[in-house]
Structure 1
Amino acid sequence: MEQHFVWVTTRRIKPGTLAEFERAWRPGIHPDGMLHAFAYWSEDGEEITGVSVWDSQDACEGWRSSDAERERREAMAPFVVEEREGFYRGGALSIPRG
């Protein structure tokens, strides 16, 4: 299995603030070492899960401690009610066809 390094963040946001949150949430630059990024919204628009895939844990930690990420988090803060995050290792699973 090809190993990936993945950062997952799930945020519950204040009702009715999805558009404002999205503007603050999107990074202004492409972080070094980020290979892919995905975003998933709950149907009510009050929970957002971001999944980013990195070439290494060091690259992810470098972004997480950068001034650009600090500024992005400060911009999101007025809309966030709760946040959970974690770093994971793993890869794609083979799904039998039948």
Structure 2
Amino acid sequence: MEEYYVWVTTRRLQPGALEEFERAWRPEPYPRGLHRSYAYWSQDGQEVTGVSFWESQEACDAWRTSESEAQRRAAMAPYVVEEREGFYRGRQLAVPQR
């Protein structure tokens, strides 16, 4: 069974800041070792959870400590009230067919 390396961040945003936050949130350049990522917004637009899948913990750590990520976080900072993050290992669960 294939294991995945996942970085999850949840940010609470200032009211009305979702559009500006989304522009600042996009990484540049695209991180090495990142396979795919997803973003989920609460209905009121004040909470955003990002889920990214990495080839290894080392690849994720290299991005997290990079100058590009520091610049991205600085660009997002004016819109963020609170931030939580975690790094996880896991695998896909089999869902029974109906």
TM range (shorter): over 0.9
Q: Hey, what does 2:48 align to over in structure 1?
A: 48
C-alpha distance in structure 2 between counterparts of 1:62 and 1:42, whole Å:
29
Q: Hey, what does 2:70 align to over in structure 1?
A: 70
| Aligned sequence identity (%) | 62
What is the root-mean-square deviation in Å for CA atoms of aligned residues?
0.6
Normalised TM-score (structure 2): 0.97
Cα shift at 1:78: 0.7
Q: Hey, what does 1:11 align to over in structure 2?
A: 11
Q: String of CA shifts for 1:62-90, please: whole Å, max 9, x gaps.
A: 00000000000001011101111000000
C-alpha distance in structure 2 between counterparts of 1:76 and 1:57, whole Å:
23
Amino acid at match of 1:67: E
C-alpha distance in structure 1 between counterparts of 2:91 and 2:30, whole Å:
23
Cα shift at 1:51: 0.4
Unaligned ranges ≥5, structure 2:
none
How many residue pairs end up in the alignment? 98
Q: String of CA shifts for 1:18-75, please: whole Å, max 9, x gaps.
A: 1110111111211000000100000000000000000000000000000000000001
Amino acid at match of 2:95: I
Normalised TM-score (structure 1): 0.97
Unaligned ranges ≥5, structure 1:
none
Cα shift at 1:91: 1.1
Q: State the secondary structure of the residue aligned to 1:44.
A: coil
Amino acid at match of 2:46: E
